[in-house]
Amino acid sequence: MNFKEIAKTLIITGNSRRLHEMIDRFFINISNFNRESLTEMQNIQIEEMAVNLWNWTVTKRIELSVRKNQAAKLCYIACKLLCMHGISVSSEEAIQRQILMNMKTGKEWLNTGNPQIADEFFQAAMANLEKLYVRLMQSCYTEPNLSMYKITVEKGIFHVLSYQAESSVAQGDFKKSSMCILRCKDMLMRLPEMPWLQNIFIYSVITLELKQASRINTKRVHSGLDQSYEIGKMDNDSVEPQMLAKALRFLATIYLNYENEEYCNKALIAILLANKEHLDPAGLFLKMRILMKGKAWNDELLEAAKEILYLAMPLEFCLSVIQFLMDNKRDSVGFCFLRIISDHFTLSEDRKRIVLFYVEMLLQKDQDMIAEEKIKEILIDHQTRSRLTRDLVNWLHNILWGKAARSVEIQDYADALHWYSYSLKLYECDQADLDLVKLKRNMASCYLPLRQLDKAKEAIAEAEQHDPTNTFTQYCIFKIAIMEGDIYRALQVVCTLKKFLMDEESEDRGLIESGVSTLQILNLSIDFALENGQQFVAEKGLEYLFQLSKDPKEVLGALKKKEMDRLLNYLNTALLKISEHFDESPLDSTANDASWLRKIAWNLALQSEKDLEAMKNFFMVSYELSLFCPVDQGLLIAQKTCLLVAAAVDLEQGRKATTTYEQNKFLRTALEQIQKCKTVWNLLKQTGDFSGDDCGVMLLLYEFEVKTKTNDPSLERFLDSLWKMPGLQSTTLETIALLAMDKPAHYPTIAQKALKKLLVIYRRRKPVDVLKYSTCMHNLIGLLVSDEIWNIAVYPLKEVWNHLKNALNIISQNKGYPEEEIAWLMIKAWNIGILMYSKNKHASSERWAGMAMEFLGHLGSLKTSYEAKVNLLYANLKEALDKKVNLRSTEMTEWLKALTVPPKDQGSVPSTNTAAHNHV
């Protein structure tokens, strides 16, 4: 890429229709160049090129309608070239030029809403100011010069700080913004003789307040601007009217932001004062905005627009006002003012611009018939009398292409062709223009969906004649070939696209024209072939993508979900061929092919996350292909992930299986993948520190789940090694306890052992997590004293007693133990006591009832629901024990079972006592 030639082209032929494309191309590639890449150019040539480009940007941006973001890009390019590493700064003037360009470039990016890029240039400006200060101090010989130099540098620093404050506000960094403002304030104290700096300072403060506060203090802002205005009035020699007008415009803008008629009137007063101080296009335009916001009558708006003519504003400004009116649905005012300016501007060139603008507005407002009549008049005049300038021809092309593009968006291809036909007439005298080639391609693209293949072929043949290496031209040819069933021609195009991919220059051109690369065009071609049933052509394109693309995701970009089965078959076939010819093929070639296909399968697996079976299949193909690749840490990580996900999918499907046969099939497959993954995991751990990876825990839990649900004979041996594992985490034990009882598994002994280990862990932690402890205790007691079995002989009463005593200790020593759980444990103890009484174990019965009373003492809000009843029942039980009354008598049964009857306050009933109630 020749920067010098592009810069020269921009400056000499700046009105080219491809101006925006050239700017984008220049901007994209500037970061790829440094001083070493421009060895053929001397420093002074680079500097001259940068300065010329800068000056051209500043002077031509309005004339050529360069958008803000593109002007910012040009400033960026010029500034980067000037400040290129390796170019020495030879004078104070050169440093000052860099400071100015960095500040202005930063401001341009700030205005386009890119404060991060802006900060880069503000920092560079600040660094150059420091360089300038050192250089000036070295060359200073007198005290007056020293003072002047310091003021010069401080003024620059003041401006940069103001910009940095604004940038920080835009990024929400109000702390940094405030620091910049405070530094500005300190500088003002040292420079009291420059009140215009105070104006800048006030603007910065107000901007900060406007952005930082959700509701601004209008009185304070008004006061600050009044102060600025009064400073100017007191010293008209030092403060220019422009600065005073700027303060008033800023105040008007503040008022304009309020949704209030009163403030809208204040805004109008402020802008009238501003325009009186100094007339500026910004002030005139702001006045139109205020009138629009105030819902002014059409006559009032028209009078304000006429005022612009009396003040001799340029044509471009008048047209921007009309566009503003049109955008705000004041069409009648806009068209009326357009008629007025057509009489006001008498130059032929201006009249032509007005007519083109009129056509553009008519098309925007869907007045197509009137617009078409005007276009016909323009074409006749252009061909027979007064030719349009190149700039105006390009404008008319843009208008027509824009209208056609809007028709394409709604799939009205016939209408798009209608407007393209007018553009075609403009090219009758300029057949070599590459834009004509682009027009032919656009027309061919419209003929295709209309099935007008002969016209499409004719149009694309002309395009191919003038620009055969264009990827878009080749894509149109490909689509025609597919639609006609011409497989040979379609394959020719695919081969051509492959050559383009191998040719960096062709690839670069495809990217620059519209941001679509040759690789993406090949992707679209594959997609189009699949949609039209030409799988052979698609597979050939896919083969080239395998060979040439650097990113597997690009290969899959155009492929659709409905092709997943076909792709899985394709990958399995490739896997089979690789395995069959592994010993015959060169090792590097086989490894490269396997590595590429492995990545494809991996990406397809990621795309299939909503289809678990497909995801598992692609991951397993990826794993199988990886076995033909050189082993390194990255490959082992990929293998581990494939096998772990595949095992997880099979486990999930096993849980959902409706038959025992299906369940066992999925679980056995999962176990195979788990064993393979364990081998990979052991190898992987030898390559580095994987202490933060939970793969080992996942494999342990997966294997445990399979063995419990399939009643595996090796379960006992597995458990022996499991319990001996050091540092079993609480979450692992929790999961083991759940899985041991997850149907069809039924291993309460395993669950109990895991829960007991958990209780020990929870008790040792300080402070005790009472919520986790209470849950664990509930689950353990529920297993030991099952609600499904009401037989004292099977209860390990001594163990249960110890667990309940431990629970009482935790409850008494820690706050926050759930009341519902305390009540549940109380009922459990009471039920065991009553059961003991029924078996004539009176002493034990009283002991268990006493434990229930201890739990009662720890209740809070629930105590009122239970206290009276428990005390009464306990008294009844004592009486029964003393009198040795038979529990089975009706009266005693009613007395003692009352504890489990829900209290009247339903909000206080613990949900955990429901099962216990059924057995008492």
pLDDT single digits (tens) 431-487: 445 578 888 889 999 999 999 999 998 989 888 888 888 888 889 999 999 998 888
187: amino acid identity, one letter: M
Angle at 67 between CA 62 and CA 70, to 5 degrees: 115
- For position 551, what pLDDT does the model report? 57
- For position 241, what pLDDT does the model report? 75
CB 490 within 8 A of CB 481: yes
pLDDT of 351 higher than 50: yes
Type and span of the H or E element at 276: helix 261-277
**Rounded to whole angstroms, how far apart are CA atoms 808 and 824?**
13
pLDDT of 797 higher than 50: yes
Percent of the chain whose pLDDT exceeds 90: 14
- For position 156, what pLDDT does the model report? 86
pLDDT single digits (tens) 622-640: 999 999 898 999 999 999 9
Of 57 and 397, the one with more pLDDT: 397
Range name among 14-23, 196-205, 247-256, 466-475 with the lowest pLDDT average? 196-205
606-610 contacts, C-beta under 8 A, 24 or more apart: 607/556, 607/561, 608/564
DSSP assigned state of 903: P
What is the pLDDT of the chain when averaged over all its residues?
A: 77
Average confidence (pLDDT) over 744-753? 89
Tell me the backbone φ, ψ of residue 503, rounded to 5 degrees.
Answer: -105, 105
By CB atoms closer than 10 A (0-12, 13-18, 19+), residue 77 is buried
| pTM: predicted TM-score of the whole model, two decimal places | 0.47
- For position 771, what pLDDT does the model report? 92
pLDDT of 142 higher than 70: no
Tokens of 599: 């990545």
Average confidence (pLDDT) over 502-508? 55
- For position 874, what pLDDT does the model report? 75
pLDDT of 893 higher than 60: no
pLDDT of 298 higher than 50: yes
With cut-offs at 50, 70 and 90, classify the pLDDT of residue 524. confident
**Rounded to whole angstroms, how far apart are CA atoms 398 and 20?**
12
Count of CB atoms within 10 A of residue 636's CB? Answer: 18
**Rounded to whole angstroms, how far apart are CA atoms 305 and 285?**
9
Query: Residues of 489-523 as b/e, b for ≥16 C-beta within 10 angstroms?
Result: ebbebbebbbebbeeeebbbbbbbbeeebbbbbbb
Q: Nearest Cα to 284, choosing from 256, 313, 261, 263?
A: 313
**Rounded to whole angstroms, how far apart are CA atoms 495 and 489?**
10
Angle at 209 between CA 203 and CA 215, to 5 degrees: 135
- For position 718, what pLDDT does the model report? 87
CB 568 within 8 A of CB 621: yes
For the ranges 227-236, 262-271, 446-455, 711-720, the one whose mean pLDDT is highest: 446-455
Tokens of 585: 């093929």
Average confidence (pLDDT) over 265-284? 82
pLDDT of 404 higher than 60: yes
- For position 292, what pLDDT does the model report? 84
